[in-house]
Chain A
Amino acid sequence: MAPDDHPDHHHPTELAPIEARVAAIESVLVDKGILDTAAVDAIVTHLEDNLGPMNGAQVIAKAWTDPEYKAQLLDNATAAIDALGFGGPQGEHMVVVENTPEVHNMVVCTLCSCYPWPTLGLPPKWYKEPAYRARAVREPRKLLAELGTVVPDDVEIRVWDSSSEARYLVLPMRPDGTEDMSASELAKIITRDSMIGVQRL
């Protein structure tokens, strides 16, 4: 029977608070022996501690300082990123798209929240919300300007809707005046937003 198919049945009128609903389904899954919270905690902690934009920043910094690596990254991003140790779930089919003076790239998932976990971590709240998902494909230049990123009219804006298995990482342009910086110094100026493509460095 479908979950809500109880035509003659009355459910409580008062909505249970979200915390109580979470506790309810969690307790069912634990009681049924499906969920082992302690075991999964280790996975969640690993994700919180080890996945995030600091990984993507290392990839980008290496691409800026190592032309051979950059060529590999643009040719086969999954392998090139894996080589730095940043493979795993939601990073199995990576594509890196390069910003140039002529093209600015930005990434969205209009259908849900697809995002490259190993290189950027879990997506920020705004990335998952309707305003960004609806507008990124409809009026990207206006949206970027509202976020403080003015892309000149003669630059093509290329929006990547990650609607399938591929996950995207933007390779931003290396800022002027950073010629003397090392890869580890460069990694510190590379932001999450620049790798989603809603910011230019």
Chain B
Amino acid sequence: MTRDSRENGSIREHVLVGTPIAVESTAVDGVHDLGGIAGFGAVDHDTDESPFHEDWERRVFRLNIGSGPLRANLPAFRHSIERMDPAHYLSSPYFEHWVTGVATRAVESGLTTRDELEQRAGGRFPLSQPDRGVLPDDLTSRTEPRYTVGEEVQVREWHPPGHTRAPRYVQGRRGTIARVHGFADVDDIAAHGGGSVTDPFYSVRFTSHELWGEGGGDREVVHVDLFERYLKDADGPRRSP
């Protein structure tokens, strides 16, 4: 196995040996979806308020906000980071995620090639994995909120292979509508070329015990902002027990 195929992780290998089921199981829920994962240890807190700590971080920020067409679709940019190799994502500083995402998008849009980037950089330039996202079936905008404050809802459980703003830790869980925020474009659709499709979005309140069972904390609640199409009526049938 070349270093390159190791670096690109399991997806490439599965594609090469033609095991679509294995592919399906590899990239569900990106490594960025971190809520509730154990083992990261203490928060390395400091009171420093400077936005950038090294010059290259400032340059990454500058090239990202200045790269017009690559920046225009924010959900697609976020997804280019979410597609990073998990080990690379977790072992690299935050602004390295940005530069990896921008470079991936530049290659995908035909502006450059990985070879050219590696030639200019004088070494290996790891990019993100291919975009496996597909557009949802329902591309209809919703213009009237279905739910009101106080109603019980349940988050659908579907773990899409592409971009979503429904964190893994709330999928399948029951909560209460705490706020009706308004309307916004559904990121899952915009990220994969479906343009502007709007949904009402809500703040949904979950108890810690609903999310973490016996491991939850008393008098701890989590409010998560969710698009209406992520939700279903709480008294509907559960897909899994």
Contacts and interface: CB of A to CB of B under 8 A. Distances in A.
Are chains A and B native binding partners rather than an unrelated pairing? yes
Interface of A: 2-7, 9-29, 32, 34-37, 39-41, 43-44, 47-48, 52-53, 93, 95, 110-113, 121-122, 124-126, 128-143, 146-147, 153-166, 191-193, 198
Interface residues of B, number: 97
Interface in B53-102: 53, 55-56, 58-63, 65-70, 78, 81, 90, 93-94, 96, 99, 102
Given A3-B130, A139-B217, A110 B35 contact: yes
Contacts of B45: 126, 147, 198
A124 B128 contact: no
Contact of B49 (A20, A93, A192): A192
Given A10-B2, A25-B117, A111 B32 contact: yes
B59 A26 contact: yes
A161 B12 contact: no
Contacts of A121: 49, 51
B21 interface: no
A41 B21 CA distance: 47
Contacts, number: 274
A133 to B, nearest CB: 4
Contact of A21 (B112, B117, B184): B117
Contacts of B115: 9
Contacts of B32: 111-112
A8 to B, nearest CB: 10
A119 B60 CA distance: 22
Given A37-B62, A153-B219, 16 more contacts: A11-B114, A18-B56, A21-B117, A22-B59, A23-B59, A25-B102, A29-B63, A41-B62, A52-B49, A137-B222, A138-B212, A141-B217, A147-B45, A156-B219, A158-B223, A166-B203
Residue among B56, B129, B227 facing the most chain A CB atoms (10 A cut-off): B56
A147 B179 CA distance: 29
A159 B167 contact: no
B35 A138 contact: yes
Given A3-B107, A28-B111, A158-B221, A18 B66 contact: no
Interface of B: 2-4, 7-8, 12, 16, 32-38, 40-49, 51-53, 55-56, 58-63, 65-70, 78, 81, 90, 93-94, 96, 99, 102-104, 106-108, 111-112, 114-118, 120-131, 165-167, 169, 179, 181-182, 184, 187, 201, 203, 211-212, 217-227
A35 B218 CA distance: 51
Contacts of B81: 112
A124 B43 contact: no
Contact of A137 (B8, B36, B52, B226): B36
Given A125-B46, A135-B40, A28 B112 contact: yes
